[in-house]
Amino acid sequence: MDLSDIRKKIDTIDFEILKLLNRRMEYGLRTKRFKKGITDEKRESEVIDYIRKHSQGLIEPEFCKGLFMQVIAEGKRLQGEDLKLIGFQGEHGAFSEIASRLFDPGLICISCDEYREVFEAVDSGLVHYGVIPVENTLGETVPDVNEFLVDRDLHISGEVKLPIKYCLLALPETDPREIRVVYSSRHALSQCQRFLAERGLEGRPYYDAGGAAKMLLRERPKGSAALASRFAADFYNLAVLNEDVEDHHGNITRFLILSKSGGREGNKCSIVFATEHKAGTLFRVLKEFADEGINLTRIESVLNRDDPGNYLFFVDFHGSIGDEAVLRALDRVRAMSRLYKFLGCYPEA
Q: What is the CATH number of the domain that holds 40?
A: 1.20.59.10
Single out the catalytic residue among 148, 255, 314, 317: 255
Based on the fold, state whether residues 158 and 211 are members of the same structural domain: no
Residue 308, pLDDT > 80, answer no
For the chain, report the end-to-end CA distance as a whole number of angstroms.
Answer: 52
For the whole model, what pTM was predicted?
A: 0.90
Calculate what percentage of the chain has a pLDDT beyond 70: 99
Q: CA-CA distance, 127 to 86, in Å (whole number)?
A: 6
Q: 119, 148, 253, 275: which one is catalytic?
A: 253
Does residue 267 register a pLDDT over 80?
yes
| Same domain (yes/no): 98, 59 | no
CA distance 25 to 74: 8
> Residues 217-236: what's their mean pLDDT?
95
More confident residue, 54 or 139: 54
Average pLDDT score over residue span 204-228: 95
- Rounded to the nearest integer, the mean pLDDT of the chain is 92
Strand 108-112 to 85-89 pairing: parallel
What residue numbers bound the domain in which 191 lies? Answer: 167-242
Is 68 annotated as catalytic? no
**pLDDT of res. 263:** 63
Residue 146: band (very low, low, confident or very high) from pLDDT cuts 50, 70, 90: confident
pLDDT at residue 73 in the model: 94
Domain match, 275 and 348 both: yes
In terms of domains, do 92 and 70 share one?
no
Q: Angle, to 10 degrees, between the axis of helix 61-80 and the axis of helix 41-53?
A: 150
Q: Are both 344 and 238 inside the same structural domain?
A: no
CA distance 34 to 245: 44
Residue 16 backbone phi and psi in degrees, to 5 = -65, -40
33-81 confidence digits (pLDDT tens) = 888 888 888 999 999 999 988 888 888 889 999 999 999 999 999 999 9
What is the phi/psi pair of residue 268, to 5°? -145, 145
Q: Which of 64, 80, 96 is the last residue of a domain?
A: 80
Same-domain pairing of 29 and 135: no
Percent of the chain exceeding pLDDT 90 equals 74
Same domain, 136 and 255: yes
Quickly state the pLDDT bin for 93 (edges 50, 70, 90).
very high
- Alpha-carbon distance 175 to 161, whole Å? 35
Q: Is the pLDDT of residue 264 over 70?
A: no
- Counting beta carbons within 10 angstroms of the beta carbon of residue 234, is it exposed (0 to 12), middle (13 to 18) or buried (19 or more)? exposed
* Number of domains making up the chain: 4
Catalytic residue check, 141: no
164, pLDDT greater than 90: yes
pLDDT value, residue 114: 93
Res 108 pLDDT > 90: yes
Residue at which a domain ends, from 80, 108, 143: 80
Return the number of other C-beta atoms located less than 10 Å from residue 211's C-beta.
22
CATH of the domain at 98: 3.40.190.10
* Residue 58 sits in the same domain as residue 187: no
Of the listed ranges 61-75, 104-118, 162-176, 297-311, the least confidently predicted one is 297-311
Q: Give the pLDDT of residue 23.
A: 92
**For 10-43, what is each residue's pLDDT tens digit?**
988 898 899 999 999 999 998 888 888 888 889 9
201-206 long-range contacts, CB within 8 A, separation 24+: 201/225, 203/227
Same domain flag for 282 and 342: yes
Beta-sheet pairing, 85-89 with 129-136? parallel
pLDDT band at 310 (very low <50, low <70, confident <90, very high): confident
The residue-averaged pLDDT of 310-335 equals 94
* pLDDT value of position 8: 84
